[in-house]
């Protein structure tokens, strides 16, 4: 019997290794797999490369991971926010490396990884600092930049519901990077608020089919946390 | 003659009235978000948010915030009846694939050729952050800029060549400032809708790059 549901966050993260590239879902506070990130801090893996849209809010989620000193490098589009003081301090002290990527390119690079595409040409960033050192080509009269696929050893994502085959649905704009990251990592771990029997998710509405998901772990909903994430 | 600069709200109002029925529109973070407050009620205009929303509605009533439903500025919003959610890669495919009719963005500088600089001051101690600005700049069918005409020091933000790091090359179609509306065309910067009391000559002097009159200067 295929059962991807694991009982504990510890079991879900047991094999994350030092030096891993970890894709972490979320945009601002929405869709952040905060329970998995907290469990990753407890698990102890270090020297991580983190891929996330932001570089953490306040001292929660990715910011907590940064504060714990586990992150060597962050790949993101928007590290600077009103409450990104943990990242700001580490960056200014030269303690964390930053690879800044336009948001759509970040997402598309992960999509490419999940779809078996090695690299692609995009007009985004052409002629800007973020194209420095990258191969360019004029295609159909437009300047384009070569961008390489971005894959993860692990993806940590937050979904709303999951079943034992790993099928997932999301809630509102908390979906954001989840489906793409799920496809782009060797091992995708989803935290969900509800697990359902097979057939409990409408097959017409499953957003992430289970083939992309390695493990599902149920967590408790914490309204307080959602508020903090804001 | 003396003139009064438009307020941010007045610029937002101008832009909102120029958005046609049925348009798919992305409003950038900051000043452009104000445009959403003035969209004509008799037009169906669909707002897109980069984090996976089409048909985004206004801010929720007090106490109704749902932190799973936020805009690009991470503030709580609502969804119009008929709106849709989708994942990030789909959302950016809409932006990068030329599906949005209009995006409105703020800017540090716009060049006479329509180059846009709006993501980074380039200052050594500044932490760079780009978000979706470069994707919108190259992807939307019409890039409109909303900004003050002059910096706090009185320098024109419309320039011959941008000195701030670029967001996109030759992408801006129209500039709404607190003094006028300027179309970026192959002929040059065609300028109209000057605020009452501001002469074209005075605007040219303030701007410092060549401007062409649009011929509809009276139509504010």
Task: Tell me the pLDDT tens digit for each residue of A93-134.
Answer: 999 999 999 999 999 999 999 999 999 999 999 999 999 999
Give the model confidence (pLDDT) of B142-160 as tens digits. Answer: 999 999 999 999 999 999 9
Which residues in chain A have Cβ-Cβ distances shorter than 8 Å to B120?
129
The residue of A124, A141, A160 whose CB has the most chain B CBs within 10 angstroms, and thus the best one to mutate to test that interface, is A124
pLDDT of residue B177 exceeding 70: yes
Contact at CB, A102 and B133, closer than 8 angstroms = yes
Q: List Cβ neighbours of B214 (8 Å cut-off, separation of 6 or more).
A: B183, B190, B191, B192, B193
Specify the pTM. Answer: 0.95
Beta-carbon count within 10 A of A31 CB: 31
Say if B88 is an interface residue toward chain A (CB within 8 Å): yes
Nearest to B88 among A124, A176, A230 (CB): A176
Local structure of residue B20 (DSSP, 8 states): P
Length of chain B: 220
| Sign of CA pseudo-dihedral A116, A108, A204, B69 | positive
* DSSP track, B163-180: -SPPSBSS-EEEEE-SS-
* End-to-end CA gap in chain B: 17
Q: State how far the Cα of B193 lies from the Cα of A215, in Å rounded to an integer.
A: 59
- What are A146's strand-pairing partners? A121
> Please, which residues have CB within 8 angstroms of residue A143's CB and are 6 or more apart in sequence?
A123, A126, A127, A136, A137, B169
Supply the DSSP string of B105-141, one letter for each residue: E--SEEETT--EE-S----TTPPP--TTHHHHHHHSS
CA distance A114 to chain B (A): 12
Q: What are phi and psi of A17, to 5 degrees?
A: -105, 160
Q: Which residue has the tokens 């946390």?
A: A225
| Residues of B with Cβ-Cβ distance to A229 under 8 angstroms | 67
Chain B residues touching A81 at Cβ < 8 A: 74, 129
Return the pLDDT at B220. Answer: 41
- Chain B hits for A77, Cβ within 8 Å: 129-132
pLDDT-based confidence at B216, cuts 50/70/90? low
In this prediction the ipTM stands at 0.94
Closest approach of B90 to chain A, Cα-based (Å): 9
Cα of first residue to Cα of last residue in chain A, in angstroms, is 40
| Two structure tokens written together for A12 | 């879900």
Residues of B with catalytic roles = 50
Question: What per-residue confidence (pLDDT) applies to A224?
Answer: 53
CA distance B147 to B160: 17
CB pair distance less than 8 Å for A123 and B86: no
| Nearest one of A84, A111, A55, A123 to B88, comparing CA atoms | A111
The whole-angstrom distance between A15's CA and the closest CA on chain B is 28
Tell me what pLDDT residue B29 has: 92
Give the count of alpha carbons within 13 A of A188, CB side only.
28
Interface test with chain A among B51, B94, B133, B143, by most A beta carbons within 10 Å? B51
Kind of pairing, strands A136-139 and A142-148? antiparallel
Distance CA A13, CA A7 (A): 11
Please state, in angstroms and as integers, the Cα–Cα distance from residue A123 to each residue in A82, A100, B169, following that order: 30, 16, 10
CB–CB contact A129 B134 (8 Å): no
DSSP H or E segment with residue B185:
strand B181-185
Instruction: Say whether A127 and B49 touch across the interface (CB within 8 A).
Output: no
Interatomic CA distance for residues A100 and A185, integer angstroms: 20
Over the stretch A1-52, which tens digit does the pLDDT of each residue have?
999 999 999 999 999 999 999 999 999 889 999 999 999 999 999 999 999 9
Give the H/E segment covering residue A13: helix A9-13
Nearest to A102 among B52, B87, B130 (CB): B130
Residues of chain A with Cβ-Cβ distance to B89 below 8 Å are 107-108, 110-111, 179-180
């Amino acid at each position: 019997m295929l059962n991807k549901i694991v009982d504990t966050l510890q079991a879900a993260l047991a094999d994350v290794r030092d030096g891993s590239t970890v894709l972490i879902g979320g945009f601002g506070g929405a869709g952040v797999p905060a329970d998995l990130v907290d469990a990753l801090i407890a698990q102890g893996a270090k020297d991580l490369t983190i891929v996330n849209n932001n570089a953490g809010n306040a001292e929660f989620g990715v910011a907590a991971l940064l504060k714990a000193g586990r992150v060597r490098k962050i790949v993101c589009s928007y590290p600077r926010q009103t409450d990104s003081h943990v990242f700001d301090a580490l960056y200014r002290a030269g303690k964390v490396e930053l690879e800044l990527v336009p948001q759509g390119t970040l997402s598309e690079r992960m999509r490419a990884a999940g779809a078996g595409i090695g690299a692609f040409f995009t007009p985004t960033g052409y002629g800007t600092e973020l194209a420095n050192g990258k191969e360019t080509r004029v295609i159909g009269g437009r300047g384009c930049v070569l961008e390489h696929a971005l894959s993860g050893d692990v993806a940590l994502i937050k979904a709303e519901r999951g079943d034992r085959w790993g099928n997932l649905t999301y809630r509102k704009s908390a979906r954001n990077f989840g489906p793409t990251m799920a496809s782009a990592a060797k091992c995708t771990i989803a935290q969900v608020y509800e697990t359902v029997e097979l057939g409990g998710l409408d097959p017409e509405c499953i957003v992430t089919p289970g083939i992309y998901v390695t493990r599902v772990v149920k967590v408790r909903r914490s309204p307080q946390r959602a508020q903090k994430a804001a | 003659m003396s003139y009064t600069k438009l307020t941010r709200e007045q610029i937002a109002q101008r832009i909102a009235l120029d958005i046609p029925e049925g348009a798919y529109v992305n409003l950038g973070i900051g000043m452009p978000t104000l445009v959403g407050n003035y969209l004509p009620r008799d037009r169906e205009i669909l707002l897109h948010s980069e984090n996976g929303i089409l048909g985004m509605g206004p801010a929720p009533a007090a106490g109704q915030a749902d932190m799973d439903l936020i805009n690009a500025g991470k503030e709580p919003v609502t969804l119009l009846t008929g709106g849709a959610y989708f994942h990030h890669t789909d959302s950016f495919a809409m932006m990068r694939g030329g599906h949005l009719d209009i995006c409105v963005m703020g800017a540090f500088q716009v060049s006479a050729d329509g180059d846009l600089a709006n993501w980074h001051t380039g200052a050594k101690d500044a932490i760079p952050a780009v978000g979706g600005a470069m994707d919108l700049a190259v992807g939307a069918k019409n890039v409109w800029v909303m900004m003050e005409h002059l910096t706090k020091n009185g320098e024109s933000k419309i320039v011959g060549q941008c000195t701030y790091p670029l967001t996109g090359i030759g992408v801006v179609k129209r500039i709404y400032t607190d003094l006028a509306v300027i179309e970026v065309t192959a002929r040059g910067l065609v300028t109209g809708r000057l605020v009452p009391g501001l002469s074209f000559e005075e605007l040219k002097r303030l701007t410092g790059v060549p401007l062409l009159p649009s011929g509809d200067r009276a139509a504010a």
